[in-house]
Amino acid sequence: MPAIPFDNSYIDLGPDFHSRVAPEPVADPQLIRFNHELAAALGIDADALDTAEKAAIFSGNVIPEGAEPLAMVYAGHQFGGFSARLGDGRAILLGEVVADGQRFDIQLKGSGRTPYSRSGDGRAALGPVLREYILCEAMARLGVPTTRALAAVSTGEAVRREGMLPGGIITRVSRSFVRVGTFEYFAAIGNRDAVKKLADYVIARNYSDLGAADNPYEALLARVIDRQARLIARWMQIGFIHGVMNTDNMSIAGETIDYGPCAFMDGFDHNQVYSSIDREGRYAYGNQPPIGQWNLIRFAETLLPLLLTGDDSRAAVASAERLLNEFRDIYHAAWLDGMREKLGLATDAPDDAELVSDFLDLLDRDNADFTLAFRHLSSLGVEPSAQDETIASLFANRAEIDAWLARWRQRLCSEGSQDGERQQRMQAVNPLYIPRNHLVEAAIRAAEDHGDLKPFHQLCEVLQNPFETQPGREEYARPPKPEERVLQTFCGT
Ligand code: AMP
Ligand code: MG
């Protein structure tokens, strides 16, 4: 039995969809972190591989038995402009495994040049590798659909960015790396057969229940709209900013993918942007829902020929528009459901959306810490007490937050809310620990500048239990001091 039970399917779509290419070996691969729990869930026999073998495989120096490395081709709208050919310029799909009836891609990122590298070096710096590892695993623990991190290695080689930086490779796992941009690639070159083949592949692999629908392609569009609306609602509920929501970074399987200059907000600001390359704020926190819908319109356009029944193209457009218009309602309902949970509300009332947005407005006005505000709220009782100070201290205007708390309490009382039971529910959805930007940055600095990986490992450990108070780890819960604040994140490409 090979250590990784590969069972590959994407390769069978044929050479239009990929280029066969092997990873480029690196000088001195060292295993930084390996995700044993994930490996076990994927049916990987990690014990069969010693540390050096893991480092060799997850750097691409050794091709494991059963792997059939390839780079996927795709296009994409980047910051609104269309690039007809992008593709895996520094990633390589090693192959797929099937676990519990679910198929997963195993992909190296930073593994060298491919036919899609254009002027890039095919490599990743260690910093962005660590950032992606920390962020995607934190997201998984926060209950957000996401690609996972299986391994991180350092390469022993330097990469040229702003200066010279140590190189790294991350191994990512996804329910499928097919993107909106994959569909766009084939639609743009007018290859309808390939669009259909890809849609059939996605339906069979990710949404097999849709195979029996009257029009499976219309059902696929509806499902992807639904998944993305719910995904973005989850981002909004935890203060996550993706940073580069280009269509090539939007997953058809509905996962958060391609972690670049992404970040969690500290102080709440609807217009918050961290990414150094997002100068216009296209992918600002508050813009994520409309941009998600914009990307889905690009997806729908690629499916139009498949939505035709007979040759009534107007009917196809009308049905796509109808589905796209549902995005807002699906998003809003998912967002409101989650926000009700964050406020501890067990029932629905007509004014709930207003109660939520008034709280967010107060947070926004004072740039109050988003995560701590909800966490502190989770410990309050229905009767005002000295504990109110924990949340009130986050705000400049005491009278306004007091007035809001009174409304919230009234609402809780209207549904007979019990303190203990509600506090437990709220603490299970309002995290205490998130991958705060200054902590991520400090972990990266220690690794890149001093070869010290301890802060990275410690941060990963804390983030495995984001909802449980961890005594002695108070530092990980607090917002940055002014001098610690990180104002920009870099994608490192
Ligand atoms: P990203 O911003 O990481 O989503 O990448 C956008 C596109 O640029 C994708 O096609 C990547 O494969 C490609 N790319 C990014 N960085 C590099 C690099 N260092 N070398 C080659 N291609 C890259
Ligand atoms: Mg990308």
Q: For 377-405, write each residue's pLDDT tens digit.
A: 999 999 999 999 999 999 999 999 999 99
Residue 491: per-residue pLDDT: 72
**What is the distance in A from the centroid of ligand 1 to the CA of 211?**
33
**Same domain flag for 242 and 99:** no
Residue 437 has a pLDDT of: 97
Query: Which ligand is nearest the CA of 491, by number?
Result: 1
Is 130 in the same domain as 41? yes
Atom of ligand 1 nearest to the CA of 493: 16
Read off the pLDDT of residues 180-190 as tens digits, 9 standing for 90 and up.
999 999 999 99
Find, among 452, 493, 490, 459, the residue nearest to 476 by Cα: 459
Residue 317 lies in a domain: yes
Residues 270 and 294 in one domain: yes
pLDDT at position 312 over 90: no
Determine which of 207-221, 302-316, 422-436, 467-481 has the lowest per-residue pLDDT on average: 302-316
So what's the pLDDT on residue 487?
Answer: 86
Is 3 a domain residue?
no
310 pLDDT exceeds 80? no
Q: Is the pLDDT of residue 230 over 90?
A: yes
Average pLDDT over residues 205-220: 97
pLDDT confidence band for 308 (50 / 70 / 90):
confident
Distance 123 CA to ligand 1 centre (A): 9
235 and 270 assigned to the same domain: yes
Which of residues 135, 152, 174 is at a domain's end? 174
Looking at the structure, tell me whether residues 430 and 481 fall in a common domain. yes
Among 70, 78, 90, 275, residue to substitute to test ligand 1 (most atoms within 8 Å of Cβ): 90
Which listed residue (88, 105, 248, 258) is catalytic? 248
pLDDT mean over 430-447: 98
Q: Do 305 and 323 share a structural domain?
A: yes
Pocket test for ligand 1, best of 136, 251, 493 (most atoms within 8 A of CB): 493
Residues 463-485, mean pLDDT to the nearest whole number: 97
In total, how many domains does the chain have? Answer: 3
Q: Is the domain of 243 the same as that of 366?
A: no
Residue 492: what pLDDT? 66
% of the chain exceeding 70 in pLDDT: 100
Ligand 1 atom nearest residue 86's Cα: 10
Rounded mean pLDDT of 412-427? 98
Residue 2 maps to a domain? no
Pocket of ligand 1 from Cβ distances under 6 Å: 86-90, 116-117, 120-123, 244, 249, 258, 260, 491, 493
| Ligand 1 atom with least separation from CA of 249 | 4
Q: Do the domain assignments include residue 322?
A: yes
> pLDDT band at 311, cuts 50/70/90?
confident
pLDDT for 493 equals: 61
Q: Is 149's pLDDT higher than 90?
A: yes
Q: What residue owns the CA closest to ligand 1's atom 16?
A: 493
Question: Which ligand has the shortest distance to the CA of 177?
Answer: 2
CA of 90 to the centre of ligand 1 (A): 6
Mean model confidence pLDDT for the chain: 97
Does residue 248 have an active-site annotation? Answer: yes
Please check whether residue 303 lies inside any domain of the structure: yes
**324 has a pLDDT exceeding 80:** yes
Q: Which ligand is nearest to the CA of 115?
A: 1
Instruction: For residues 363 and 280, give the distance between their C-alpha atoms in angstroms, rounded to a whole number.
Output: 23
Is the pLDDT confidence value at 344 over 80?
A: yes
The domain of 457 spans 344-493
Is the domain of 277 the same as that of 370?
no
Let me know whether 63 and 97 are in one domain.
Answer: yes
**Are residues 220 and 84 part of one domain?**
no
Is the same domain home to 141 and 276?
A: no
pLDDT digits (tens, 9 = 90+) for 258-268: 999 999 999 99
Q: What is the pLDDT of residue 10?
A: 98
Closest atom of ligand 1 to CA, residue 114: 21
* Segment 280-293 mean pLDDT: 97
Ligand 2 centroid to Cα of residue 181, in Å, is 10
Q: Give distance in angstroms: CA of 192 to centre of ligand 2.
A: 24
